[in-house]
Amino acid sequence: MTKIALVTGGNKGIGFETVRQLAAQNIKVLLGARNEQEGKKAEEILQDDSLDVEFIKLDISDSQDIENTKAYIERAYGKLDILVNNAAVFLDGEWFGNNVESVPMKTLRDTFDINYFGTVELTQALLPLIKKSDAGRIVNISSLSGSFGAHLDKNHWLYQLKPFAYSASKTALNQFTVFLANALKETNVKVNAASPGWVKTSIGSDEAPLTPEEGAKTGVALALLDDNGPAGTFSQAGENITW
């Protein structure tokens, strides 16, 4: 039976490449995007490459979109094998420095609405469908910026980069990963967090050393884990990262 995957924020960057790489594995991939025009354009590009990709309108900060997505997947496919929580925003303004003393509350709330609350709400809504899979996989696309270890290490390249809203939202996402993996440890569902690395995207900037194709590989590998694969981990390119 064909595997069904959903990738949020799948219209560009790491999300788009995640959709492409999963579809290349003969997986039916639902490309979630809040912008219908951009989502359909991405769908068309990938379908032109003979990939089984279907756009689905999904703004993860919109509870109605989440309910509509759940209802559609349940009606059309009856299960969900892979959920890649990729959709995210960066609203701090810049990466360099530490803005914890001045970041506006609106920036914090708007960041958490997408990067944390929307992701948690969507995952909770889709869990009954994921549990119907023979090998459910949930991948939370996190960031090295969410690592306490990196931010406490004065010798780490990330030490000087402390955008508070984005980093805090990814730290919270990591906690969600750990707790959800624990809650599902007796099931066939594996939950892991991926750090794509510093990638050329609207968030990572053109100065980043990695391409979106390279950045997508960690999340795709976690989405395709076999039964012996890990759960409750935070990794990049197969190497575990300090929480």
- What residues act catalytically? 166
Which residue from 121, 179, 171, 175 is spatially nearest to 148, judged by alpha carbons? 171
In SS3 terms, 172-236 reads as HHHHHHHHHHHHCCCCCCEEEEECCCCECCCCCCCCCCECHHHHHHHHHHHHCCCCCCCCCCEEE
Q: What CA–CA distances, in Å, run from 161 to 29, 38, 152?
A: 34, 31, 11
- Contact predicate 115/88, CB 8 Å: yes
Environment class of residue 232 by beta-carbon count within 10 Å: exposed (0-12), middle (13-18) or buried (19+)? middle
Alpha helix (H) residue ranges in 24-163: 36-48, 63-76, 105-112, 119-130, 148-152
